A and B are shown apart, each in its own frame.
Chain A
């Protein structure tokens, strides 16, 4: 019982991080129709920015805010400088570019921040709660992680469903020509989409780093699991991403605890294949009518 509870709660917090990352992928997909593989190292860089600020003696939250703003700017810059030149060409060009960016940012981080492990602080306790004799493997920071992800998901749903900017972003992503004719400033919408996605990505970076160890490759496994979570949720739906992330976190934690940690990547791939075979649009995709 205790083991089940601990494994489940651990899976839930981990799932929240995958969810945050899936949200970022989903956001970029919704606003630009490409998948950004550089999301992980971008989040890693902004987490390091936070770490440098915190190590310089500032509070956790200053670092936290700086990382999010850094993410916003980094996303916008990457879109303007790197992705814009291949805009209008085959989508695969942009995807491959993000892969190149993945390697580049990694190398730069290694040079600038060094490759050793460093511990990253958490704003709330890293000690689990105890109720009576049962220990609840949920730390203050774990609660914060889950709450933060749910809030971000809510905001994204609101943005896309109820605001004009959200509508324009979707229009720009769906069909640039038509959107342009309708008066949508497509370029600006794409930049905004990237910036917001990078911001959410940074958040996932901070959430997984909190109370643990970071090094330049610490986000690499998250990119794989986040991608699986996003596909599970349908790449298109913020709610789907979050549920996909949580489901994945729970399943992988159970696999690791009851079957063996060496099977975790395999389990993720099995889930990915099963989803692609049975429901290629994901569990929560609403746009089957669009496919030709």
Chain B
């Protein structure tokens, strides 16, 4: 633990030093100075464009699913651009592949900030990856919005990282909500934790332990990249675990299911939202189903998970109708998937933030606006954002669902909470938000 923390601090330091050296090297560049005392617009924004960027794993171990998120962003920005943009500005989204490797993330973030000169980072994906660049972005005062990860780091301490905002519910509140549900509904279950060995697993574990510390009989961690999880599952099996709680990415959901088959391990499974996309995991498992199920999505039948935005299964949701319309008109190849919807939902929030920052948004203006009105934004999220001056954490809650035929059947109302010892309460208010008729938000400037 101590070692990893020190190591992380060291990586951050090295990253910072590298970034610093790079900056010093190109110190002569920077902002154009018109010398007439007029306010110069911020980097990355002109009268008719705004350039933003994001880092995603387009290749490698985390690519399945996640690589689709930027295509959702692009489709929605294209839709907004086709309808006149935001205050006349077209949004240009530059996506770089970091292959889920923090070293690459540093490189591509340098490229985005220094070479592409983006206005802000939007939806950069991954806990280990984004950790490598979050201090650099804050030192450079680059807005770092809607990080695609549920680590607490993006919002629990805005004084430390004033430019960074989370978006999805953080893993700790997810762990709490899952923990409470298990405590209330499966009080006799012997729980085993299957965790990714980083903040993702750690935050989720901390949340779950607030409710079911006594029920957890074994904890195993996998290292992303090592695809052999048999030793880990054997350990859970040896501890007679009958409910596995997984804080893992989708490919490891597939691997854990496959491995469980191999070692005859038949517990109940509860995967956190991140790893539970039935369409993606089902497609990976379909080949091994031995002809017993009709559709590949049904392979995860009975698996418990959580939801915080309406996905492809929410066929009567107005949001899904909007996403489908956007995807049909501006999407890339392929179907509308939950990952693309995730991207579009984030893009929707970004457009709201931009509108809230007024006619001539500055980098600082966007951050201020989100702190001021972020908590009141209406969007696809089932629960409201927690954005304020004290917290940059995102959506505040989710519901517990059971998968059936690729669809999530609600087991609870929307449960809302916060980090720490905040109680869990029911709050369906944000779940009733509907999109405006033209599909583009209309947020008034915050100041």
Please, how many angstroms separate the alpha-carbon atoms of A198 and B185 in the complex? 55
Contacts of B227 in A (CB 8 A): 212-213, 218, 221
Interface residues of A in 101-126 (CB under 8 A from B): 110, 115-122, 125-126
B137-145, B259-267, B428-436: which lies at the interface: B259-267
A201 within 8 A of B: no
The interface of chain A, by Cβ under 8 A from chain B, is 2-3, 6-7, 10-11, 14, 110, 115-122, 125-128, 130, 135, 137, 139, 142, 211-213, 215-218, 221, 253-254, 256-258, 260-262, 264
Q: Which 10 pairs across A and B sit closest by C-beta, in order of nearness?
A: A257-B231, A3-B238, A135-B264, A6-B234, A10-B230, A115-B59, A256-B231, A137-B263, A119-B287, A117-B64
Across the two chains, which residue of chain B brings its CB closest to A260?
B221
Do A135 and B263 form a contact, CB below 8 Å, given A126-B288, A213-B251?
yes
Contact A6 B263 (CB under 8 A): yes
User: With contacts A6-B237, A257-B234 known, what are 12 further pairs, Cβ within 8 A?
Assistant: A3-B234, A115-B59, A115-B67, A127-B264, A128-B261, A137-B262, A212-B227, A215-B63, A254-B231, A256-B228, A257-B230, A257-B232
Please, how many angstroms separate the alpha-carbon atoms of A139 and B263 in the complex? 8
Main secondary structure of the interface of A (DSSP, over half): mixed
Please, how many angstroms separate the alpha-carbon atoms of A23 and B284 in the complex? 30
A-B contact pairs, 24 of them (CB 8 A): A3-B234, A7-B230, A7-B231, A10-B230, A11-B231, A115-B60, A119-B284, A119-B286, A119-B287, A119-B288, A126-B261, A127-B261, A127-B264, A128-B261, A135-B263, A135-B264, A212-B227, A221-B227, A256-B228, A256-B231, A257-B232, A258-B231, A260-B197, A260-B221
**Among the listed B60, B67, B264, B288, which residue makes an inter-chain contact with A217, where contact means beta carbons less than 8 Å apart?**
B60
Please, how many angstroms separate the alpha-carbon atoms of A256 and B287 in the complex? 27
Contact A215 B226 (CB under 8 A): no
Across the two chains, which residue of chain A brings its CB closest to B64?
A117
**Among the listed A115, A121, A260, which residue makes an inter-chain contact with B63, where contact means beta carbons less than 8 Å apart?**
A115
B443 within 8 A of A: no
Contacts of A253 in B (CB 8 A): 228, 230-231
Contact B228 A10 (CB under 8 A): yes
Interface residues of B in 267-293 (CB under 8 A from A): 283-288, 290
Across the two chains, which residue of chain B brings its CB closest to A259?
B231
**Among the listed A119, A125, A130, A221, which residue makes an inter-chain contact with B285, where contact means beta carbons less than 8 Å apart?**
A119
Contact B230 A137 (CB under 8 A): yes
Interface residues of B in 184-240 (CB under 8 A from A): 197, 221-223, 225-232, 234-235, 237-238
Contact B263 A261 (CB under 8 A): no
Across the two chains, which residue of chain A brings its CB closest to B59?
A115
Contact B223 A264 (CB under 8 A): yes
Please, how many angstroms separate the alpha-carbon atoms of A121 and B237 in the complex? 25
Contact B262 A127 (CB under 8 A): yes
Please, how many angstroms separate the alpha-carbon atoms of A52 and B226 in the complex? 25
Please, how many angstroms separate the alpha-carbon atoms of A3 and B226 in the complex? 19
Contact A128 B232 (CB under 8 A): no
B23 within 8 A of A: no
Contacts of A14 in B (CB 8 A): 228
Please, how many angstroms separate the alpha-carbon atoms of A245 and B312 in the complex? 46
Do A262 and B262 form a contact, CB below 8 Å, given A2-B237, A119-B288, A257-B234?
no
Do A262 and B254 form a contact, CB below 8 Å, given A137-B234, A257-B232?
no
B419 within 8 A of A: no
Across the two chains, which residue of chain B brings its CB closest to A255?
B231
Contacts of B262 in A (CB 8 A): 10, 126-128, 137, 139, 142, 211
Contacts of A215 in B (CB 8 A): 60-61, 63
Contacts of A117 in B (CB 8 A): 63-64, 251, 254, 284
**Among the listed B67, B222, B258, which residue makes an inter-chain contact with A261, where contact means beta carbons less than 8 Å apart?**
B222
C-beta contact mask, B16-49 vs A, less than 8 Å → 1, else 0? Answer: 0000000000000000000000000000000000
Please, how many angstroms separate the alpha-carbon atoms of A135 and B229 in the complex? 17
Contact B232 A261 (CB under 8 A): yes
